[in-house]
Amino acid sequence: AHPIMFNVFVWVPQHLLSHHQYTNDYHLDMDVHHFSPARLSQAQPSTERTTRPLLGNDGWHFVWKGCLTTLGTCVLQPLRTLTEKPTPNFDVNISPVPAAVTKRTLLLSMLPSFFVLLYPLLAFLRADPLRCAFLEVWPWVGMSLIWTSMTQTSHIQASCQPSEASCWTANQIQTSLDYSRGEPLATALTGGLNAQSLHHAMPTICCCHFPQIYEEYSQVCAANGVQIRTSENLATATAECLDYVFRVNAPSDAAS
Protein backbone atom coordinates (compact mmCIF):
# COMPACT_ATOMS: atom_id res chain seq x y z
CA ALA A 1 0.00 0.00 0.00
CA HIS A 2 2.93 2.34 0.61
CA PRO A 3 3.47 5.10 -0.52
CA ILE A 4 0.40 5.99 -2.64
CA MET A 5 -2.47 3.99 -1.12
CA PHE A 6 -2.27 4.02 2.68
CA ASN A 7 0.29 5.06 5.25
CA VAL A 8 1.08 1.87 7.14
CA PHE A 9 0.27 3.36 10.54
CA VAL A 10 -3.08 4.55 9.22
CA TRP A 11 -3.81 1.26 7.46
CA VAL A 12 -3.61 -1.07 10.46
CA PRO A 13 -6.04 0.65 12.86
CA GLN A 14 -8.29 2.06 10.17
CA HIS A 15 -8.67 -0.79 7.71
CA LEU A 16 -7.74 -3.97 9.56
CA LEU A 17 -9.11 -3.16 13.00
CA SER A 18 -11.98 -0.79 12.16
CA HIS A 19 -13.31 -1.68 8.72
CA HIS A 20 -12.73 -5.44 8.83
CA GLN A 21 -14.34 -5.85 12.24
CA TYR A 22 -17.25 -3.41 12.08
CA THR A 23 -18.05 -3.18 8.38
CA ASN A 24 -20.54 -0.41 7.54
CA ASP A 25 -21.21 0.40 11.20
CA TYR A 26 -21.09 4.19 11.09
CA HIS A 27 -20.13 4.31 14.77
CA LEU A 28 -17.01 2.17 14.33
CA ASP A 29 -16.09 1.75 10.64
CA MET A 30 -13.77 4.56 9.56
CA ASP A 31 -14.43 3.82 5.88
CA VAL A 32 -17.96 5.16 6.30
CA HIS A 33 -16.51 8.62 6.98
CA HIS A 34 -13.83 8.96 4.29
CA PHE A 35 -16.18 11.02 2.14
CA SER A 36 -17.77 13.24 4.79
CA PRO A 37 -20.01 15.23 4.72
CA ALA A 38 -21.51 12.65 2.35
CA ARG A 39 -23.56 10.10 4.30
CA LEU A 40 -22.82 6.48 3.38
CA SER A 41 -24.95 4.78 6.00
CA GLN A 42 -28.74 4.81 6.13
CA ALA A 43 -28.53 4.63 9.92
CA GLN A 44 -26.29 7.69 10.19
CA PRO A 45 -28.30 10.76 11.20
CA SER A 46 -28.09 13.87 9.07
CA THR A 47 -25.94 16.61 10.53
CA GLU A 48 -27.05 20.18 10.93
CA ARG A 49 -25.29 22.46 8.49
CA THR A 50 -25.16 26.11 7.55
CA THR A 51 -24.05 25.65 3.94
CA ARG A 52 -25.90 24.26 0.96
CA PRO A 53 -25.09 20.74 -0.28
CA LEU A 54 -22.44 20.55 -2.99
CA LEU A 55 -24.23 20.93 -6.35
CA GLY A 56 -27.49 20.28 -4.52
CA ASN A 57 -26.50 16.83 -3.18
CA ASP A 58 -23.67 15.85 -0.82
CA GLY A 59 -23.27 12.66 -2.81
CA TRP A 60 -20.93 14.70 -5.01
CA HIS A 61 -18.44 14.69 -2.13
CA PHE A 62 -18.23 10.93 -2.58
CA VAL A 63 -17.49 11.41 -6.29
CA TRP A 64 -14.68 13.95 -6.02
CA LYS A 65 -13.15 12.58 -2.84
CA GLY A 66 -13.24 9.12 -4.37
CA CYS A 67 -10.74 10.43 -6.91
CA LEU A 68 -8.34 11.65 -4.21
CA THR A 69 -8.90 9.27 -1.31
CA THR A 70 -5.35 7.98 -1.08
CA LEU A 71 -3.91 11.49 -0.83
CA GLY A 72 -5.85 11.64 2.42
CA THR A 73 -4.81 8.23 3.72
CA CYS A 74 -1.13 8.72 2.83
CA VAL A 75 -0.58 12.39 3.63
CA LEU A 76 -3.49 14.31 5.14
CA GLN A 77 -4.56 11.83 7.82
CA PRO A 78 -1.09 11.19 9.29
CA LEU A 79 -0.37 14.92 8.96
CA ARG A 80 -3.35 15.66 11.20
CA THR A 81 -1.83 13.43 13.87
CA LEU A 82 1.51 15.22 13.53
CA THR A 83 -0.09 18.66 13.81
CA GLU A 84 -2.78 17.56 16.30
CA LYS A 85 -5.59 18.86 14.10
CA PRO A 86 -9.17 17.49 13.93
CA THR A 87 -10.60 15.77 10.89
CA PRO A 88 -12.63 18.18 8.71
CA ASN A 89 -16.36 17.99 9.54
CA PHE A 90 -15.51 16.48 12.97
CA ASP A 91 -14.47 17.88 16.35
CA VAL A 92 -11.60 15.39 16.79
CA ASN A 93 -9.11 13.45 14.70
CA ILE A 94 -11.05 10.29 13.80
CA SER A 95 -8.09 8.61 12.06
CA PRO A 96 -5.37 8.48 14.73
CA VAL A 97 -2.34 6.21 14.53
CA PRO A 98 -1.41 3.69 17.27
CA ALA A 99 -0.29 5.39 20.48
CA ALA A 100 3.05 3.55 20.39
CA VAL A 101 4.00 5.29 17.12
CA THR A 102 6.05 8.40 17.86
CA LYS A 103 5.69 11.54 15.78
CA ARG A 104 9.25 11.06 14.51
CA THR A 105 8.45 7.54 13.31
CA LEU A 106 5.23 8.76 11.72
CA LEU A 107 7.05 11.56 9.92
CA LEU A 108 9.69 9.14 8.61
CA SER A 109 6.94 6.85 7.33
CA MET A 110 5.51 9.75 5.32
CA LEU A 111 8.75 10.55 3.47
CA PRO A 112 8.07 8.15 0.55
CA SER A 113 4.70 9.84 -0.02
CA PHE A 114 6.32 13.27 0.12
CA PHE A 115 8.82 12.06 -2.48
CA VAL A 116 5.99 11.05 -4.83
CA LEU A 117 4.51 14.53 -4.40
CA LEU A 118 7.72 16.52 -4.78
CA TYR A 119 9.71 14.61 -7.39
CA PRO A 120 7.62 15.66 -10.44
CA LEU A 121 7.82 19.30 -9.36
CA LEU A 122 11.58 19.23 -8.91
CA ALA A 123 12.33 17.15 -12.00
CA PHE A 124 9.91 18.42 -14.65
CA LEU A 125 8.12 21.63 -13.65
CA ARG A 126 10.35 23.98 -15.62
CA ALA A 127 11.28 21.75 -18.55
CA ASP A 128 8.00 19.91 -19.14
CA PRO A 129 5.00 21.33 -17.21
CA LEU A 130 2.47 18.95 -18.80
CA ARG A 131 4.51 15.92 -17.88
CA CYS A 132 4.94 17.37 -14.41
CA ALA A 133 1.18 17.83 -14.03
CA PHE A 134 0.49 14.28 -15.17
CA LEU A 135 3.08 12.72 -12.85
CA GLU A 136 1.88 14.90 -9.97
CA VAL A 137 -1.80 14.03 -10.33
CA TRP A 138 -2.06 10.56 -11.86
CA PRO A 139 -0.47 8.42 -9.08
CA TRP A 140 -3.00 9.75 -6.58
CA VAL A 141 -6.04 9.84 -8.86
CA GLY A 142 -5.21 6.45 -10.37
CA MET A 143 -4.67 4.71 -7.04
CA SER A 144 -7.69 6.45 -5.49
CA LEU A 145 -9.94 5.25 -8.30
CA ILE A 146 -8.57 1.72 -7.89
CA TRP A 147 -9.08 1.79 -4.13
CA THR A 148 -12.54 3.34 -4.27
CA SER A 149 -13.82 1.06 -7.04
CA MET A 150 -12.20 -2.13 -5.70
CA THR A 151 -13.31 -1.65 -2.08
CA GLN A 152 -15.97 0.98 -1.46
CA THR A 153 -18.17 -0.05 -4.37
CA SER A 154 -18.50 -3.44 -2.70
CA HIS A 155 -19.79 -1.98 0.58
CA ILE A 156 -21.60 1.27 -0.14
CA GLN A 157 -24.81 -0.35 -1.29
CA ALA A 158 -28.42 -0.33 -0.17
CA SER A 159 -28.29 -4.13 0.14
CA CYS A 160 -25.13 -4.06 2.29
CA GLN A 161 -26.34 -2.05 5.26
CA PRO A 162 -25.82 -3.74 8.66
CA SER A 163 -28.71 -5.84 9.91
CA GLU A 164 -29.37 -8.44 12.55
CA ALA A 165 -27.19 -11.39 11.54
CA SER A 166 -26.77 -14.81 13.10
CA CYS A 167 -23.07 -14.23 13.77
CA TRP A 168 -20.12 -11.94 13.03
CA THR A 169 -19.14 -13.82 9.87
CA ALA A 170 -22.68 -13.66 8.50
CA ASN A 171 -22.67 -9.90 9.05
CA GLN A 172 -19.34 -9.58 7.22
CA ILE A 173 -20.76 -11.48 4.26
CA GLN A 174 -24.03 -9.56 4.12
CA THR A 175 -22.36 -6.14 4.29
CA SER A 176 -20.25 -6.94 1.22
CA LEU A 177 -21.08 -7.20 -2.48
CA ASP A 178 -19.65 -9.69 -5.00
CA TYR A 179 -19.68 -9.22 -8.76
CA SER A 180 -18.43 -10.95 -11.93
CA ARG A 181 -18.45 -14.26 -10.09
CA GLY A 182 -16.64 -17.01 -11.96
CA GLU A 183 -15.08 -14.64 -14.51
CA PRO A 184 -11.28 -15.17 -14.58
CA LEU A 185 -10.45 -11.80 -16.17
CA ALA A 186 -12.43 -9.78 -13.62
CA THR A 187 -10.94 -11.84 -10.81
CA ALA A 188 -7.41 -11.19 -12.10
CA LEU A 189 -7.95 -7.46 -12.64
CA THR A 190 -9.44 -6.96 -9.16
CA GLY A 191 -6.95 -9.22 -7.40
CA GLY A 192 -9.84 -11.38 -6.22
CA LEU A 193 -11.63 -8.49 -4.53
CA ASN A 194 -14.67 -9.00 -6.75
CA ALA A 195 -15.37 -11.72 -4.15
CA GLN A 196 -15.45 -9.11 -1.38
CA SER A 197 -17.73 -11.12 0.89
CA LEU A 198 -15.29 -14.04 0.91
CA HIS A 199 -12.43 -11.62 1.57
CA HIS A 200 -14.30 -10.29 4.60
CA ALA A 201 -15.42 -13.69 5.84
CA MET A 202 -11.89 -15.12 5.65
CA PRO A 203 -9.48 -12.16 5.40
CA THR A 204 -6.40 -14.23 6.22
CA ILE A 205 -6.80 -16.36 3.08
CA CYS A 206 -4.98 -15.00 0.04
CA CYS A 207 -7.35 -13.86 -2.70
CA CYS A 208 -5.52 -16.07 -5.21
CA HIS A 209 -7.30 -19.06 -3.64
CA PHE A 210 -10.80 -17.60 -4.01
CA PRO A 211 -11.64 -19.13 -7.43
CA GLN A 212 -10.93 -22.62 -6.06
CA ILE A 213 -13.00 -22.28 -2.90
CA TYR A 214 -15.80 -19.91 -3.92
CA GLU A 215 -18.27 -22.60 -4.96
CA GLU A 216 -17.89 -24.46 -1.68
CA TYR A 217 -18.11 -21.15 0.18
CA SER A 218 -21.39 -20.36 -1.61
CA GLN A 219 -22.79 -23.74 -0.64
CA VAL A 220 -21.85 -23.25 3.01
CA CYS A 221 -23.56 -19.83 3.00
CA ALA A 222 -26.72 -21.26 1.41
CA ALA A 223 -26.82 -24.14 3.89
CA ASN A 224 -26.69 -21.66 6.79
CA GLY A 225 -29.21 -19.20 5.39
CA VAL A 226 -26.66 -16.46 4.68
CA GLN A 227 -27.38 -14.46 1.55
CA ILE A 228 -24.44 -13.37 -0.60
CA ARG A 229 -25.10 -9.92 -2.09
CA THR A 230 -24.26 -9.85 -5.79
CA SER A 231 -24.16 -7.63 -8.85
CA GLU A 232 -23.52 -8.56 -12.47
CA ASN A 233 -20.20 -6.74 -12.89
CA LEU A 234 -18.19 -3.74 -11.70
CA ALA A 235 -20.13 -1.34 -13.91
CA THR A 236 -23.50 -2.39 -12.48
CA ALA A 237 -22.06 -2.43 -8.95
CA THR A 238 -20.74 1.11 -9.42
CA ALA A 239 -24.06 2.32 -10.82
CA GLU A 240 -25.92 0.79 -7.86
CA CYS A 241 -23.40 2.35 -5.45
CA LEU A 242 -23.82 5.84 -6.92
CA ASP A 243 -27.60 5.51 -7.02
CA TYR A 244 -27.60 4.60 -3.33
CA VAL A 245 -25.21 7.42 -2.36
CA PHE A 246 -27.24 10.10 -4.13
CA ARG A 247 -30.53 8.80 -2.69
CA VAL A 248 -29.19 8.75 0.86
CA ASN A 249 -27.79 12.27 0.46
CA ALA A 250 -30.80 13.76 -1.31
CA PRO A 251 -32.02 16.91 0.48
CA SER A 252 -34.98 16.16 2.71
CA ASP A 253 -37.40 18.15 0.59
CA ALA A 254 -36.32 16.28 -2.56
CA ALA A 255 -36.34 12.92 -0.79
CA SER A 256 -39.92 13.47 0.37
pLDDT mean over 56-81 = 95
> What's the whole-number average pLDDT of the chain?
93
For the chain, the distance separating the N- and C-terminal CA atoms, rounded to the nearest angstrom, is: 42
SS3 of residue 195 by DSSP: strand
Cα(73)–Cα(95) distance, integer angstroms: 9
pLDDT mean over 62-90 = 94
Cα(37)–Cα(33) distance, integer angstroms: 8
Cα(163)–Cα(172) distance, integer angstroms: 10
Q: Quick: pLDDT tens for 185-244.
A: 999 999 999 999 999 999 999 999 999 999 999 999 999 999 999 999 999 999 999 999
Q: Quick: pLDDT tens for 148-186.
A: 999 999 999 999 999 888 899 999 999 999 999 989 999
What pTM, to 2 d.p., does this model score?
A: 0.91
Whether residue 98 is predicted with pLDDT greater than 90 in this model: the reply is yes
Cα(46)–Cα(9) distance, integer angstroms: 30
Whether residue 11 is predicted with pLDDT greater than 70 in this model: the reply is yes
Q: Could you tell me which residues come within 8 angstroms of residue 37 by beta carbon, excluding any fewer than 6 positions away?
A: 47, 49, 58, 61, 89
Beta-bridge partner residues of 195 = 178
